[in-house]
Amino acid sequence: MEITHIGIRLIESSRLKAIASVTFENILTIDDILVIQGKNRLCLHYPQNRDNQSVVVPRIREFSKQIEEAIFQQYHQKIIQKGA
């Protein structure tokens, strides 16, 4: 599936850096993807229900990587824009 839109809302917190939404082919949107600063790198946390069970889980590693790279690229662009 092609990513057609990514929204990023920067958050000023120690570990939580942003909240993202991703739209695929203008058909499906996943909201509330958290961009978290881990010990060595940024990582994504997908939406969970009240029992902390994942609501969305990419099953194919390449697809997960595609989402991750697209969100991180937009995140870094948003940081640059904020600093300008």
Which domains does the chain possess? 3-83 (3.30.1120.40)
Say yes or no to pLDDT of 52 above 80: yes
Q: What would the mean pLDDT of 8-18 be, rounded to a whole number?
A: 94
Tell me: pLDDT of 84 over 80. no
> 13 or 16: whose pLDDT is higher?
16
Over range 21-30, report the average pLDDT: 96
Residue-wise over 54-84: b if at least 16 C-beta within 10 A, else e?
eeeebeeeeeeebbbeebbebbeebeeeeee
pTM (predicted TM-score):
0.90
Q: Model confidence at 46, in pLDDT bands (50, 70, 90)?
A: very high
State how beta strands 28-37 and 16-24 pair. Answer: antiparallel
Q: How far apart are CA 47 and CA 45, in angstroms?
A: 7
Which one is predicted more confidently, 67 or 1?
A: 67
Using the 8-state DSSP alphabet, how is residue 53 labeled?
Answer: -
